[in-house]
Structure 1
Amino acid sequence: MSKTDAFAEAGKTAVMQNIQGTMQFLLQFPPFDQMESGHLAYLVEHCRLRFYAAGDSIVKPADGRVEHLHIVKQGHVLGQRPSLSGNGIDTTMEIAPGECFPMAAMVGERPTRTDYIAAEDSFCLLLERQAFARLLTDSDPFRDFALRGVSSLLDLVNQQVQLKAAKTLGAQYSLDTRLGELTARRPVFCTGGTSLREAVRLMNEHQVGSLVMVDAAEFPVGIFTLRDLRQVIAEGSGDLEQPLDELMVRDPARLPPSATAFDAALTMTRRHIAHICVVENDRLVGVISERDLFSLQRVDLVHLARTISSAGSVAALAALRGDIARLIDHMLAHGASPAQLTHIITQLNDHTVSRVIELMLEKHGDPGVPFTWLAFGSEGRREQTLHTDQDNGILFEAAGQAEAETIRQRLLPLAREINLALDACGFSLCKGNVMAGNPELCLSRQEWLRRFGGIIQSPSAENLLRSTIFFDLRPVWGPTRHCRELLDDLLEMIADNALFQRMMAANAMQHRPPIGRFLRDFVVASHGAEKDTLDLKVEGLTPFVDGARILALANGIHDSNTLERFRQLAARGVIDPKDAASYEEAYHFIQLMRMQHHQRQQHEGRPLGNRLDPDTLNSLDQRILRESFRQAQRLQSRLSVRYQL
């Protein structure tokens, strides 16, 4: 072999080693770890490596249409934009090794809106536009990431969570499955005048647990189930020739085929039923049963809700709390999102609270006064996790102050017994005494209105810190009309008070997301038992909760749920829909991290808490957690501009 050939061969070998080394590097990061090897090799072959010294401008708006996708191989890059306030420059992102920029500008074939600066000496792989376009066409994982960014990474995390949980549960079953996909068989139904004998024959013949009665247009007007049959037999009142019209449950629950298995599960849980009619264009097209949803995985949500609501003692309710924790494991394997999980936990907690109230009324006697049990804080927002304490109060109607005091003295002993019973069920007593047994939180509607009025008319930083929890109120048990009237009056007062809105916005800035000047750095506790940890609830979720609250209250939105507040704010044009979607995804992810953390603590027999060492997370989770905290920073920046803070 000649020297020329030897050099050529050595050169080929070096090139192949370089390609293989770059591919091995990229395989550590999404979306490259999901790409087919041929597509990844094509990407690497069409990249060139470029060095940028610290402080160098890499891409900026003035450069015009972006011609290369940049992938950081070594070093760090900062993304900077003019401050929302118009004063100075904000660092909006930091791009670490394995991450890409500016993806949106490449997809849109436009200039970037961000200045990208090398934070330190850095090397980037530059992928040319033509190769980028081909990969968008050929590689599904690359295209999904290019079009959806962090959303696609969240899908990966959710898949990992589901697969991990499913290892112990068998095959996966998604709660996002549409009911239309679960109702393949034609529903069994009858018409008016059908006898009980004929109904039982039909149910036995078709091996179903329910029979739907329809009108001439096949719209469901009633349903008869095996549970109804057992009740008829137990009461000894069943004549086999009796018309089913007299025995069936009228106006059965209905959902469209586009509704999900989660929607059906939640409806069953709320109404204590085991069957739902699937109706399309006012015509019965199927029936979904409790067994259809959960028998494969034995996730018996409806049965658990029914058991809670019929528990015979506080001790029995306390014993059922462990079942809720096991349910969460199952729900994760079924594909439930954090929002769905917290909604389900809150629903089961509501059933527990309601049953405790009923048991205490049976034990201590009815005070003879109608009252509404109010939930505040996370329970009021329907965002509870396994780690929760009590935040509650009582609302009642009174003609005047003297009558209010008389009613309060009748209700307080019962309220204190309810608080103690809830504590026995795992709802810890509130250290701040935000409980119905506190005379200051057992109030008539007019007294609640005066309390809110005092906060709104004379706001102070200290007062707001102690009072924001009350602005997430929701009725859990008892009449709901007066609570709605209270909310109407409350929102009207807030809409007319710009000073209160501004101070509440300032209060929402108190809890800063735990990322430092360089966004790759998590800000963690530096000493004590909390050393090297951050608080997922206070530092991660609270900025979103506080930001959504003030914007919702200022814009007359009744709903107290954080994600629903963001959706309604976007629908009203208060915030951009894309921003709302980003906030929702970030909130989802932090809540997912928190719930996984609680699961690990529970499985290891440790007390539940919200402090997490970010170094225990893998690189993908760390990356999305940083981006989620950055979204919280963006929300606070917008509040600062909106309210001139």
Structure 2
Amino acid sequence: MVATDSFANSMQQATLDALRVHAPFSDMTQADLAWMVKRLSLVYFPQEMTLLDAGGAPDGLFIVRQGAIEAEAPGQGDTRLLQLNAGELFPLGALLAGRAVANRYVAASDCFCFRLAAADFHALLERSRTFSDFCTRRIASLLEHSQRAVQSEYALAQDDERRFSRPVRSLVQQPPLTAGPATRLGDALAAMDAAQVGSVVVCDDAGRPLGILTLKDVLKRVTLAGVSLDAPIAAVMSAAPATLASTATVAEALLLMARHGIHHVPLVEDGRLIGVISEKDVFALRRLSMQGIGGAIARAGDPASLPALAQSIGALAHSLLAQGMDAENLTAILSGLNDRLTQRVIELEARAAPLPDVPWCWLALGSEGRMEQTLATDQDNALIYRHATATERAALLAFAERVNQRLAACGFPLCKGGIMASNPAWCLSAEDWRATFANWIQRGDAPALLHASIFFDFRPLYGTRELSDELRAWLNGSIQNQRLFLRHMAENALAHRPPLGLVRDFVLSSDGGEAPALDLKLNGITPFVDAARIFALYAGVDATGTAARLRAAAQRWNLAADTVESWVAAFHFIQLLRLRHQHAQQTRGEAVGNRIDPDALNALDRRILKEAFRQGRKLQGVMERYFEF
């Protein structure tokens, strides 16, 4: 009897050790994991044996111990959708929702699986918060594991591990300096000097921020403008300043600063001012300097000085990436700084030669239009103007050519397809842009769909914003009833399937003489971007970012929030993997690209990538159903 107990205990310990190397079991308490292990049975399945049939009720949870399991799509012959390997769980969705199994699961090789009865599975959900959290938000939980691994890899200081997720209120060092709108300017400046602070917030009687004045504003708005120190501060303040809730994170503060080109952010609770943080406060934790880069861009008087600043933006992106910043905030900050660089190029070139007195606006397209730029991105831009003579249009084209060349010198290569504002085809009046878009919508052929996938992501970057806003309103109003065109867009989008494999985890492709690899842009990011664009156009959503489009469109169709967030998390993981891959290539002095060898990934990232691709397929499935007009 003692020997039998000893054998059982050793078997349970071996099972526990085997599970401990996989999420979520690696994070579960010893007691919860031991409770589960005692209730597991080990089941053997020979190659090609069916474990679960589509349409059947699941009677338990399976955990792959050894071998591989493949899932087949019902009604599609032997089409196998995905492969599950050691540590992966199925059929989670059916068990959680109490529904039939959606796919047929077949042993791809001789396979051993642990099985947990359905009743024990639900009991474990109640017992273990870690297990429940993983099952209900699987990809987000896996991402958190990956994020921690990246931070460990870069051996960050302990106080850096949570620096981007800590609340901004923790950075407030002293009470904010405030003034009423009628306060004499001289008195406000004297108070700033006495307090040794760089800003004063103008508030109403209830303590709500009305404006802000910083030392950087004083030179231009007071000294050079010759404003009397007896003037009220309201005459020179920046009205309606961008604010953050005191519970917002450091990452959100950085993103706000990057988007608005500001260095001070008032913090509010219930609308009332409770403090002010500066970029200096954020980066006092570590020697990073968005302020230095942004300030240098703003001060640059010669376009020739901007390429070096573009390199600084890349260096800052590398630093933020190394410290574990998530892809959503990182790409937004990177795009925000690139915006400021581009805007400065446009500003300087607009001053260099007289421009016609006509309203115009520089449009960002493609990944720049979506604010999803990575470390390798070429130019996609266009120009829209109200009305112009042939001579005026020629001057705008010459101006656009100078800007395109300056941006190329800053590390943004000229678009090989000529999608740039200096191309006469993409420097058009508002009327001609509407006619061009209308022509694409009417045709719906391959070239029209390709152009739509780039140009319909436009957003204003510099100039008369109303021109862009009017074009967006016209497009949203015109396309919602064009169901045939939307169906063509959906069919075209389905040509780029997430590359989940049959024999291997992933389907690899060759590009020229290169070794087979995964294209994280074409087959990873594009399925999410394309689906989000189609949903947004049909919903009349103004947003251009992929995550914002998915969330906004989901509200219109009442899609489950957790489903949408799984799509968003999957999209951002693939973006993060692209950024990390490009960072490694730049570090090694290699050409930067999007093709990656999945065998070079660690086991955790391979697992998350497979889950991200599955989410891409699920999103495409929803899109396909919605647009079967």
Instruction: Confirm or deny a common fold (TM above 0.5).
Output: yes
Distance (Å, rounded) in 2 between the aligned partners of 1:641 and 1:560? 23
Q: How far apart are 1:469 and its partner, in Å?
A: 1.1
Q: Aligned letter for 1:438?
A: N
Task: Note if contact 2:83-2:501 (Cα within 8 Å) is conserved in structure 1.
Answer: no
Question: What is the alpha-carbon root mean square deviation over aligned residues?
Answer: 3.1
Counterpart in 2 of 1:477? 462
> Relative to structure 1, is the Cα distance of residues 94 and 257 closer, same or farther in structure 2, using a 3 angstrom cutoff?
same
Distance change in 2, residues 1:480/1:236 (3 Å): closer
Q: Helix, strand or coil: the match of 1:98?
A: coil
Q: Give, as a single letter, the amino acid of the residue that structure 2 aligns with 1:122.
A: C
Q: What amino acid maps onto 1:78 in structure 2?
A: E
Equivalent position of 2:33 in the other structure:
40
Asked if 1:506 is matched to 2:499, the reply is no
1:613 aligned to which of 594, 597, 601: 597
Kept in 2: contact 1:165–1:330 (CA 8 A): no
Distance 2:100 2:625 in 1: 26
C-alpha contact 1:385 1:595 (8 A) present in aligned 2: yes
Q: Judging changes above 3 Å, is the alpha-carbon distance between structure 1 residues 22 and 498 closer, same or farther for their aligned structure 2 residues?
A: same
Q: CA deviation at 1:29?
A: 1.2
Contact 1:163-1:333 at 8 Å conserved across structures: no
One-letter code aligned to 1:620: L
**1:522-541 superposed matches below 5 A:** 522-526=506-510, 529-541=513-525
Contact 2:74 2:102 (C-alpha < 8 Å) held by counterparts? no
TM-score normalized by structure 2? 0.90
Secondary structure at 2:506 match in 1: coil
- The 5 A counterparts of 1:458-607 are 458-517=443-502, 520-526=504-510, 529-573=513-557, 575-607=559-591
- The number of aligned residues is 629
CA contact (8 A) 2:172 2:277 kept: yes
C-alpha distance in structure 2 between counterparts of 1:597 and 1:159, whole Å: 17
Partners of 1:232 and 1:482 in 2: CA distance: 29
- Residue 433 of structure 1, CA deviation: 0.9
CA distance in 2, matches of 1:466, 1:169: 48
Match of 1:629 among 584, 608, 613: 613
Question: In the alignment, is the contact (CA less than 8 A) between 2:58 and 2:100 conserved in 1?
Answer: yes
Q: Distance in 1 between matches of 2:153 and 2:555?
A: 36
Is the 1:461–1:503 contact (alpha carbons within 8 Å) kept by the matching residues of 2? no
Question: Does the residue aligned with 1:420 lie in a helix, a strand or coil?
Answer: helix
Residue by residue, what CA displacement relative to the aligned partner does 1:556-575 show, whole Å, maximum 9, x if unpaired? 22222111111111000075
Residues 166, 333 of structure 1: 8 Å contact kept: no
Give distance in 1, aligned partners of 2:370 and 2:472: 14
SS of 2:540 mapped into structure 1: coil
Deviation at 1:115, TM superposition (A): 4.5
Q: Per-residue CA shift, 1:183-228, capped at 9, x if unaligned?
A: 4754333446655675466546655333333332222334343445
Matches of 2:584 and 2:442 in 1, distance apart?
45
Q: Could you tell which deviates more after superposition, 525-534 or 625-634?
A: 525-534
Please tell me the residue identity of whatever aligns with 1:76: A
Offset at residue 629 of structure 1 (A): 1.4
Match of 2:383 among 365, 388, 394: 394
Q: How does 1:45-60 map to 2 (within 5 A)?
A: 45-59=38-52
> Does the alignment pair 1:20 with 2:18?
no
User: For structure 1, which segment, 98-107 or 372-381, has the greater mean C-alpha deviation from structure 2 after superposition?
Assistant: 98-107
Structure 1 equivalent of residue 423 of structure 2: 438
d(CA) in 2 for partners of 1:52 and 1:269?
A: 55
Q: How does 1:48-447 map to 2 (within 5 A)?
A: 48-59=41-52, 64=57, 66=59, 68-80=60-72, 82=74, 91=80, 93-107=82-96, 112=101, 114-128=103-117, 132=121, 135-136=124-125, 139-165=128-154, 167=156, 171-183=160-172, 185-191=174-180, 194=183, 199=188, 202-203=191-192, 206-228=195-217, 244=233, 248-332=237-321, 335-398=324-387, 403-447=388-432
CA-to-aligned-CA distance 1:484-537 (integer Å, 9 cap, x gap): 22222223332232222222222212222222235x521113585421311100
| Matched residue type, 2:484 | L
Tell me, yes or no, if the aligned pair for 1:415 and 1:436 is still in contact at 8 Å: yes
- Are the aligned partners of 2:50 and 2:105 in contact in 1 as well (CA < 8 Å)? yes
Structure 1 Cα separation of the partners of residues 376 and 511 of structure 2: 24
Q: State the Cα deviation string for residues 422-467 of structure 1 (Å, max 9, x = none).
A: 1101110111111111111111111111211221112212442344
The verdict on how the C-alpha distance between 1:444 and 1:222 changes in structure 2, with shifts beyond 3 A counting, is closer
Structure 1: gaps (5+ residues): 1-7
TM-score w.r.t. the length of structure 1 is 0.88
Cα displacement string for residues 286-306 of structure 1 (whole angstroms, at most 9, x for unaligned residues): 222222222212332244223
* Shift of residue 320, structure 1, vs aligned partner: 0.8
Q: Does 1:30 align with 2:23?
A: yes
Q: Which moved more, 1:585-594 or 1:261-270?
A: 261-270
Cα deviation per residue 1:587-642 (whole Å; 9 max; x = unaligned)?
11110100000110111111111110000001111111112112222233333344
Shift of the alpha carbon at 1:234? 6.2
Q: Letter of the aligned partner of 1:496 in structure 2?
A: N
Instruction: Determine if contact 1:549/1:562 at 8 Å carries over to the other structure.
Output: yes
* Aligned mates of 1:558, 1:225 — CA distance in 2: 33
Q: Tell me whether 599-608 or 114-123 shows the greater mean CA deviation.
A: 114-123
Q: Alpha-carbon deviation of 1:151?
A: 1.7
In the alignment, structure 2 segments of 5+ residues that lack a partner are none
Amino acid at match of 2:39: H
* CA apart distance, 1:179: 3.5
Provide the rounded CA distance (Å) in 2 between the counterparts of 1:295 and 1:25: 43
